[in-house]
Copies of this chain bind each other. A is one copy, B any other.
């Protein structure tokens, strides 16, 4: 018999997917360039040329057995070392290769992190608004995901609600900063306060509460600022990274788990990741992609377009009277809808070919997300559609 859990999942329609499919179908009718499709978070800028050049050079220079051969089960040693050194340079950490485990993107990293520090029926806490894929990532490991309600004024952490929720079964807290969908960067004050609570509660409950820090948008921060590095503030931090956004290579499925060397049993935890892999069929990202990434740790795709798009949208939304917190990073903006039911709101937008997604599944009903990883020229043209949409309906 087919496994009931997955059969059931097939019947649950995702509104995001529905709207995204609508946008593509509408594109076939009127030309996709005329559909202002803000539904999906796919990078819209090309990979740096140096990444492709690395691949071509590697094929020419490396022996095929080294290049395409089995990676060591924790990732290629030289690649892990290069990742450690890059993090040390940038964030003043002291990782070695023994603190790095190469994964298939951040999804793979989180799949390992949760199994590393949780037993079935433990709890992980995350903060709304949150990336809805956290639900399968956490619950399919047999672990309960609890969601702290949002701080709507700034989308930092609602600490009051968090302190009410944390309890003896809480084994990890999962944060995502810069945040999908809010576009907000957690401030140093937020991270410090969170760390203090985690430290106090770890002592109170007699077990470590780990911080799982999901950082695929780390490199997309606006106004020349940068994201405070959470592991710098809390020893028991498991950093989950993906190169999907920074290098615009989401299809190549490459990222890593980095365990803070100050975390008790840090090296052991990395070796455990190799054991976890055996049961979930993961077994390392592609070797050639591991090598290529290790040569491109100091570069990113040209992501300036995202900040440009954000400013255009933020200014127009504000002009039109939307309640919206200005994003500090990512390629998302997260305004409050102009009516309570954000699903109805987004469906009305479709009539103007202005397509965002309602935020109910992000744990924040009444809001909607625009993923502005599209050409700036299209963002500019979309503003007129947005104006008409708002003026004719509200």
A residues in contact (CB < 8 Å) with B: 1-7, 9-10, 42-44, 46-47, 52, 55-56, 59, 63-65, 67-71, 103-105, 107-112, 115-119, 133, 136-137, 139-141, 171, 207-208, 248-254, 265, 268-269, 271-272, 275-276, 278-289
Contact = CB atoms under 8 A, between A and B. Distances in A.
Contacts of A109: 281
A47 to B, nearest CB: 5
B10 A68 contact: no
12 contacts: A1-B207, A1-B208, A3-B118, A55-B55, A69-B251, A103-B281, A108-B283, A137-B279, A137-B281, A140-B278, A140-B280, A253-B286
Contacts of A105: 281, 283
Q: Is the interface of A mostly helix, strand, loop or mixed?
A: helix
A250 B72 CA distance: 11
Given A64-B47, A271-B10, A272-B10, A252 B286 contact: yes
A192 to B, nearest CB: 25
A334 B4 CA distance: 40
Given A47-B64, A59-B56, A64-B47, A283 B253 contact: yes
A288 B286 CA distance: 10
Given A46-B65, A119-B4, A140 B283 contact: no
